[in-house]
Amino acid sequence: MITDYSIQAVAINAIPLIFAITIHEAAHGYVARKFGDNTAYMLGRVTLNPAKHIDPVGTILLPLALVLMGSPFLIGYAKPVPVNFGRLRNPKIDSIWVALAGPGSNFIQAIIWMSLWLILKGFQVDEPFFIAMAQAGVLWNIGLLVFNLLPIPPFDGGRVLSGLLPTRQSIALEKLERWGFFIVLALAFTGILGSLWMDPLRNFFLEIINLITLPLQMIFGA
C-alpha cells in the first residue's frame, strides 16, 4: 500500500511500473512479429520507449484512484498493442502465444526484481530506496500478470481463452469485449476481483517465484 506521496515514494513505484507496462506491451508486439504480424512493429510499438505505451487512464488515473481508495491491490494497463491476428501464420494458436507474451514478461521481471532484492539483502546493502523499489517491482509485476490473465476480453487471459475454445464459443466470448472493462470495474468495486482472483493468484505466483529464487535465498541466507 502506498501511504507516502513524496517524490521519492512516487519514484520508487513509478520506475518499476513504467518498466512493467512498457516491456509488457513491447513483448506482445515482438512475439506478434515473430509469428508473422508486423503491425505493431510498423507503428513503432515494439519499443522500450514508455511514451509509446502509456495510457493516461490505465497507467496513471486508475492506479492513483486505487491508491486513494485504499485498495489492497494495485493494477494498471497501457495502450493495447495493435495486432492483426489474421496475419499470424496460425491465428488460432499463435494468438495464444501473443497474448501470453505480456504476462510472461511480467513474470520474468518479477523474478528479476526478487533476485535483486535478495542480492541487496545478501550483500547487506542498507539503502531503503533500492530495497523498496525492488519490492515494488515484484508487486507491480505480479499485479499486472494476474490482472491481465483475467479470462475476459480484451484482457490477455480472454485472448488465451478465446484461442483455446472451439470457434463458435470463441466468437461468443469475443462479443463481450466491448463490455470487458466495465465488467472488471464492477468486479473491482464490489471486491470480487480482489478476493476471488487477484489475491489467490498473486499468492500463487509469489510462491512460484519464491521457489525459483530459492537458490539465491540459500546462497544469501535470506
Task: Kindly list the catalytic residues.
Answer: 25
CA distance 134 to 83: 32
**Grid coordinates given for 129:** 530506496
Q: How far is CA 209 from each of CA 109, 110, 169, 200, rounded to the nearest angstrom?
A: 11, 8, 34, 14
CA distance 24 to 6: 27
The three-state secondary structure class of 107 is: helix
Closest CA relative to residue 36, chosen from 80, 100, 93: 93
